[in-house]
């Protein structure tokens, strides 16, 4: 395949990744939201005292564990994590493509961006 064909194939792959990734994230959030409303929708909302997220929802491991238990807030957070993961996967796919084409300049830049994204997602606060 020539370079133009490779570029076009990469663009189609990236577009599909973005489209299906966002749709999957939206579906997971919608499922979690519906689940939450069914279970807690009739409860009164207390707005006088701010209550932050539970500590389980402040880490990727905790979010996955809560979602695996089918707890609605964990499922919603998992959908949001998937939404954040879509552009990270896009950068990773671009980096792999640049490495395969042996375009070292763009591969290096893209890998640096990918490292920054992963670090910012996994760093403890």
Identify which has the larger pLDDT, 80 or 4.
Answer: 80
Residue 102 is assigned to a structural domain of this protein: yes
Task: Please say whether the beta carbons of 86 and 46 come within 8 A.
Answer: no
Number of domains in the chain: 1
CA distances to 19, 49, 89 from 98, rounded to whole Å, are 22, 51, 14
- Quote the Cα angle for 28-67-61, to 5°: 120
Residue 73 is assigned to a structural domain of this protein: yes
Residue 3 is assigned to a structural domain of this protein: no
Q: Express each pLDDT in 33-67 by its tens digit.
A: 999 999 988 888 777 887 777 888 888 889 999 99
User: Is 80 exceeded by the pLDDT of residue 2?
Assistant: no
Residue 56 is assigned to a structural domain of this protein: yes
Specify the pTM.
Answer: 0.80
The residue whose two tokens read 């042996």 is 102
Alpha carbon 42 to chain centroid distance? 30
Report how far residue 16's alpha carbon sits from residue 19's, in angstroms, rounded to the nearest whole number: 5
* Lookup: tokens for 14: 């990236």
User: Is 60 exceeded by the pLDDT of residue 125?
Assistant: no
Please list the helix, strand and coil fractions of the chain in percent, rounded to the nearest 5, in that order: 80, 0, 20
Residue 5 is assigned to a structural domain of this protein: no
Q: Please, what's the b/e burial string for 53-69 (b: 16 or more CB within 10 A of its CB; e: otherwise)?
A: eeebbeeeebbeebbee
User: Is 90 exceeded by the pLDDT of residue 6?
Assistant: no
Residue-number span of the structural domain to which 22 is assigned: 11-122
Strands of the chain, DSSP E: none
Q: Express each pLDDT in 52-108 by its tens digit.
A: 778 888 888 899 999 999 999 999 999 999 999 999 999 999 899 889 888 899 999
Alpha carbon 41 to chain centroid distance? 26
């Amino acid at each position: 395949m020539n370079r133009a064909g490779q570029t076009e194939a990469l663009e189609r792959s990236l577009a599909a990744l973005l489209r299906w990734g966002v749709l999957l994230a939206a579906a997971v959030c919608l499922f979690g939201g519906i689940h939450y409303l069914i279970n807690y929708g009739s409860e009164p909302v207390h707005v006088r005292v701010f209550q932050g997220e539970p500590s389980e929802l402040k880490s990727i491991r905790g979010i996955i564990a809560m979602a695996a238990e089918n707890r609605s807030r964990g499922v919603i957070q998992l959908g949001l994590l998937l939404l954040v993961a879509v552009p990270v996967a896009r950068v990773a796919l671009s980096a792999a493509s640049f490495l395969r084409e042996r375009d070292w300049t763009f591969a290096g830049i893209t890998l640096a961006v990918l490292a920054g994204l992963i670090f910012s997602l996994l760093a403890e606060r």
